[in-house]
Structure 1
Amino acid sequence: MQLFIGGACAGKRDAVTSRFPSASWHRLEAGQRLINSQQALAANTPLVITGVLEWLGAALERDDNDALRQQWQRDMATLCQRADKLNAALIIIATEVGRGIVPMQPEQRRLRDLNGWFAQDATTQASHVWYVRHGLVMAVK
């Protein structure tokens, strides 16, 4: 798996498109588990997963951060294994939101926490991590 992370409009999509021109794209659906993305996997075809921040926003209704995190960790591991079996590169595009002003609303602070944990977990699973800023792509892992 590869993770492309950076701020909004930083050039993540362009970077992924240039590296994986034949990829299929899948946007995470609110309320669905990450593992449901495996339906979009196809043999020998890269799969790009987008919409992480909005997907996490829909998860704010759930109270247990630890259970939520454990679920997506399991789902991510299973998804990576399935992609490997199909020889399909798996790419996740995530938005980095931790460098701004801390919001006053508790749910917005929690969203940033969830996003940070997701990025940490994706980084752990990823073989390559790319940070994108102003269209510049830097290998982090």
Structure 2
Amino acid sequence: MHFVTGGAFNGKKKWVTAFYGLEQKPHQWHSFYKEKEAPELREEIVVLEGIERYIRALLERSETPEEARLLFRKQLEKWQKEDRIVILIGTDITKGIVPMNAFDRFFRDAAGWCFQDTAAASRRVDTVWYGIAETIKEETE
């Protein structure tokens, strides 16, 4: 798995497209901004965009942020076992002012925990800020 994170509108999608040459390769692109459920993976290269929105959807049907994290971990394990390239893109929402609304604070906490789990499970992690990527983790086989 490959995890790409960074700020909103900082070029993550454009960077992933260029890095993997997706304009010329068959791939599956799933946006959690449009769909709340995890898809069945079909192509050799799969991009799952907006994982923070998936985490929010899990939190909306959970009792606690910890329960949402456990649900996310189960899905993460499935993605990790896939025999294909799985790229997870998530917008970092953990910086800045702490939300006043309790649900939004829980969302921020759950997203931070799930992003840590994603980084730990991924072979490669890149942050993209202002269109510039920095590799912060890269495991070789």
TM-score for both structures, normalised by structure 1: 0.84
* Counterpart position of 2:81: 81
CA distance in 1, matches of 2:94, 2:8: 12
Residue 98 (str. 1) matches residue 94 (str. 2): yes
Post-superposition offset of 1:73: 1.1
* Counterpart position of 1:71: 71
Match of 2:122 among 122, 126, 129: 126
**What are the within-5 Å matches in structure 2 for residues 36-75 of structure 1?**
36-37=38-39, 39-42=40-43, 45-61=44-60, 62-75=62-75
Aligned-pair RMSD on alpha carbons? Answer: 1.5
* Counterpart position of 2:135: 139
Unmatched tracts of structure 1, length 5 or more: none
Q: Does the 8 A contact of 1:50 with 1:92 survive in 2?
A: yes
**What's the % identity of the aligned pairs?**
28
TM-score for both structures, normalised by structure 2: 0.84
Question: Secondary structure of 1:140's partner?
Answer: strand
Unmatched tracts of structure 2, length 5 or more: none
Q: How many residues align?
A: 130
Q: Does the 8 A contact of 1:130 with 1:140 survive in 2?
A: yes
